[in-house]
Amino acid sequence: VIVQGNSMLPTFQSGTRIFICKAAWLVGAPKDNDIVVVKLSGTGEYIIKRVYRVAGERVDPLWSPLFWRGAGAYLVPEGQIYLLGDNREISEDRRIFGPVDVHSVVGKAVFN
């Protein structure tokens, strides 16, 4: 996968090539701090982000989609994961769009 954009700086520069593992059974289900590639439903667009929280975990109020609406912490629903870009100042991530279905994960970054 080739990273496009600056949402994962400083971890990945735009243009960086990374390897992803599509065989989830080899590397396990997504967990906090994993870097994953996700295919977004509707648009078919691929994004690369860091798993911030998984189903059943609370998202800190500062990183919550509810923060922007004046509410508190957010609980990730079952079957979902909550993703953030490493460059949080500019990343268009789950704070705007909400969590994604865990089945939309194409693969995990294993090394670059």
- pLDDT tens digits for 84-96? 999 988 887 666 7
C-alpha to C-alpha distance for 70 and 75, rounded to whole angstroms: 15
57-62 long-range contacts, CB within 8 A, separation 24+: 57/32, 57/82
Residue 29: its pLDDT value, please? 87
C-alpha to C-alpha distance for 90 and 64, rounded to whole angstroms: 16
Mean pLDDT of 46-53: 92
Which residues does 66 contact at the CB level (< 8 Å), separation at least 6?
A: 72, 73, 74
Regarding pTM above 0.85, the answer is no
Confidence at 71, pLDDT banded by 50, 70, 90: low
Q: What is the mean pLDDT of the chain?
A: 84
